[in-house]
Amino acid sequence: MIKVAIVEDNNTLRRSLCNLINQTEGMQCVASLENLLNVVSEFRKTFPDVVLMDIGLPNISGIEGVRTVKENFEKIQVLMFTVFEDDEKIFEAIKAGASGYLLKKSSPEEIIEAIEALYGGGAPMSGNIARKVIESFQHHTHPTKEDYQLTTRESEILHSLIEGISYKKLAEKYFISISTVRTHIRHIYEKLHVNSKAQAVAKILKK
């Protein structure tokens, strides 16, 4: 069972998302919040696996909310759910610790698929958002190898992680075991001096 929390100030949308999740087999909406004022205490009660979080929230922004969630709950995966498509908001959210970025115009099917992908180790993003992130990464592919001494395979896997490919799909793509994928990712984290996929992506984008 994937436990999902929603942080969205639009009451109608928040209720619709909660209903969608509860009607999906293998998912449960365990928290539905209109702001981030009590997010830590609420999540300590429910311990969600995945959080759908708006950026344009009252009082405390969703980007600050991502930082708060990741500082207190390292294993919770945050999926930004927003109308913002500009580069600055995208990269701020990723650098803050978000592992996915989905636009509100996404279909119900895309929302469910994104939650499942995030829970499964992927980094789901709406198509045009993923393109912006990949283009930014591609501009820094060669400096990344020079600066961090990544092998060709490690660079390939890091690029695939940014595309949102899960560990299972990585293993199939490169004809290696999931255990070997995890070993490569551990080496990438060590070389980049980070502890998570989101931090790795953020470091490359910042570079």
39-46 vs 62-72: helix crossing angle, rounded to 10:
50
pLDDT value at 138 more than 70: no
Q: Is residue 135 part of a domain?
A: no
Residue 86 lies in a domain: yes
86-136 confidence digits (pLDDT tens): 767 778 888 888 888 888 889 999 999 999 989 988 878 876 676 666 666
Q: 65-71: long-range contacts at Cβ-Cβ below 8 A with a sequence spacing of 24 or more?
A: 65/7, 65/36, 65/39, 66/93, 66/96, 66/97, 66/98, 67/96, 67/97, 68/36, 68/39, 68/40, 69/39, 69/43, 69/97, 70/96, 70/97, 70/198
| Residue 146's CATH number | 1.10.10.10
Q: Over range 34-48, report the average pLDDT.
A: 95
The answer to whether residues 58 and 103 belong to one domain is: yes
Query: 48-52, 85-89, 90-94, 181-185: which has the minimum mean pLDDT?
Result: 85-89
Q: Which of 125, 152, 182 marks a domain boundary? A: 125
Instruction: For residues 97 and 91, give the distance between their C-alpha atoms in angstroms, rounded to a whole number.
Output: 10
Whether the pLDDT of residue 23 is over 90: the answer is yes
- Same domain for 103 and 181, yes or no, is no
Q: How many domains in the chain?
A: 2
Same domain, 119 and 150: no
In a domain, 44, yes or no: yes
Q: Residue 13: which residues within 8 A CB-CB, separation 6 or more?
A: 104
Same domain? For 25 and 101 the reply is yes
State the pLDDT confidence band at 146, using cuts at 50, 70 and 90. Answer: very low
Would you say residue 133 lies in a domain?
A: no
* pLDDT tens digits, one per residue of 71-85: 999 899 999 998 877
Q: Check whether residue 105 and residue 148 sit in a common domain.
A: no
Task: Give dist(CA 53, CA 190) in Å, integer.
Answer: 29
- Considering 125, 156, 174, which residue would you say is the last residue of a domain? 125
Question: Are 22 and 82 in the same domain?
Answer: yes
Question: Is residue 65 assigned to a domain?
Answer: yes
Strand segments, DSSP code E, in 83-183 are: 100-103
Rg (CA), the chain: 17
pLDDT value for 93: 85
Q: Which of 60, 94, 125 is the endpoint of a domain?
A: 125
* Integer Cα distance of 152 and 141 in angstroms: 10
102, 114 Cβ separation under 8 angstroms: yes
pTM: 0.65
Say if residues 74 and 99 touch (Cβ distance below 8 Å).
no
Q: Is the pLDDT at 14 greater than 90, yes or no?
A: yes
In this predicted structure, what is the pLDDT of residue 145?
45
Model pLDDT, residue 133: 66
Q: Which pLDDT score is estimated for 132?
A: 67
C-alpha 77/C-alpha 91 separation (Å) is: 16
Q: Is residue 130 part of a domain?
A: no
Same domain, 28 and 102: yes
**Domain span holding position 44:** 2-125
How much is the pLDDT for 137?
Answer: 59
Distances (CA, A) of 153 to 52, 93, 190: 32, 27, 15
Across 45-56, average pLDDT? 95
pLDDT of residue 92: 84
What average pLDDT score do residues 3-16 get?
96
Do 96 and 145 lie in one domain? The reply is no
- The pLDDT mean for the chain works out to 86
